Amino acid sequence: MKIGILGTGNIGKTLVMKLSAAGHDVKVANSRGPDTIEGDILAHGAQAVTSSEAMKDVDVVILSTPLSAITKIAPLFASVPANTVVIDTSNYYPKRDGEIADIEAGQTESEWVAGQLGRPIAKAWNAITSASFAQKGVPAGTAGRIAIPVAADGERERDVAMKLVDETGLDAVYSGPLSESWRQQPGAPVYCTDLTRDELPDALAATERARLPKRRDLAIEAIMERVGDSTTNPDSDYAVRLTRALFM
């Protein structure tokens, strides 16, 4: 497939490398321009381009940016064909993104993104730490393979997202429509806890929506106390121990 990826943060970089290594034709862009994209993530043939170029003549667009960037990206979709699948990896952190009234009032992150873009999306790769994503992907059928949830309203968005998740070394579990995607938001038992395909459904079912914001904010405070700021990611082992203790 032809895939455009917007964002070269920790999740975005791994997406570029894994999907291009899997044989896809990948274009990648960030907000600073193609000259700022590090060469190592292009090792498997991905191309560094501008944001508008990343969205031209592609089958899939993957958004791997902070949630606060979505409103700036939205106008770029005016020229993107309706049959292009859009997958969003973002999460809502009010201290980073600023408070978003609709989400605070109960709209799911995914529904808010779909509304901003004016088109259907799938939600994937949001519920795994960047370290686990980069280091723990394994071939399908491997015992203990990490699974992540995929939410979508449409079958095509769901099927494409789940196929690509598998190709990045993870099992994909359909978590339901976007209206139910709060079950994979920060603070949920499936969020960054490295569960398997067999474990994920029970964790999705056990999610208590009202408790998510407090759990999310507790995790951020603990991480900031450990690493000193909100932009440095802790190692995978610590992050998973923390999220399992707080979210499960």
Structural domain contains residue 75: yes
pLDDT attached to residue 231? 58
Tokens at 14, concatenated: 């791994």
Split into its structural domains, the chain has a count of 1
By the 8 A CB rule, do 121 and 157 touch?
A: yes
**Pick from 211, 68, 46, 186: which is nearest to 129 by CA?**
186
Give the model's confidence band at 68: pLDDT under 50 very low, under 70 low, under 90 confident, else very high: very high
Query: CA-to-CA distance for 152 and 45, rounded, in angstroms?
Result: 29
Structural domain contains residue 111: yes
Structural domain contains residue 203: yes
Structural domain contains residue 54: no
Q: What is the pLDDT of residues 190-205, one digit of tens each?
A: 999 999 999 999 999 9
Structural domain contains residue 131: yes
CATH number of the domain residue 136 falls in: 3.40.50.720
Averaged pLDDT, 14-38:
97
Domain around 157:
65-247
Tokens at 109, concatenated: 């992150």
Q: What is the pLDDT of residues 82-102, one digit of tens each?
A: 999 999 999 999 999 999 999
Per residue in 165-189, is it b (16+ CB within 10 Å) or e — as a string? bbbbbbbbbbbbebebbbbbbbbbb
Query: CA-to-CA distance for 29 and 47, rounded, in angstroms?
Result: 9
- Residue with structure tokens 């990611």? 233
* Sheet architecture: strand order including 122-123: 47-48, 25-29, 2-6, 60-63, 85-88, 122-123, 147-152, 171-176
Structural domain contains residue 180: yes
Structural domain contains residue 53: no
Query: CA-to-CA distance for 124 and 157, rounded, in angstroms?
Result: 10
pLDDT attached to residue 44? 96
- Provide, rounded to the nearest whole percent, the portion of the chain with pLDDT above 90: 92
pLDDT attached to residue 230? 54
Task: Work out the mean pLDDT of the chain and round it to a whole number.
Answer: 95
Give the model's confidence band at 131: pLDDT under 50 very low, under 70 low, under 90 confident, else very high: very high
Structural domain contains residue 16: no
